[in-house]
Amino acid sequence: MMNLEAINGRQVKSVEADFSALSENWCEYQVDGGGTVRVRATAVRIFRVVYADTEEPALDPMGIPIFHVDHQLQLTARS
């Protein structure tokens, strides 16, 4: 659990969530002058941000639940 700042005057916290990867695709880029770069982001830990007093999901201004994701970037390059 991580303690976070207040949102809209309410204290929030983050609670680690269990998850499973559905897919982890590579993004490929052709570099001018030759070469290809591939990049992939992989989630390591996912936290759901909730209001500390009610445990209800904290929402952004558009009503979408807020998550914090610890991630790892992988990169490969070829000439």
d(CA 67, CA 23): 19
Decide if 47 contacts 56 (C-beta within 8 A).
no
Decide if 43 contacts 21 (C-beta within 8 A).
yes
Report, in angstroms and rounded to the nearest whole number, the Rg of the chain calculated over CA atoms: 18
Q: Residue 58: how many CA atoms within 13 Å on its side-chain side?
A: 23
User: For the whole model, what pTM was predicted?
Assistant: 0.80
Quote the longest CA-to-CA distance of the chain: 56
Note down pLDDT in tens along the chain; length 79 residues: 666 667 778 899 999 999 999 999 999 999 999 999 999 999 999 999 999 999 999 998 899 999 999 999 999 999 9
pLDDT at site 5: 67
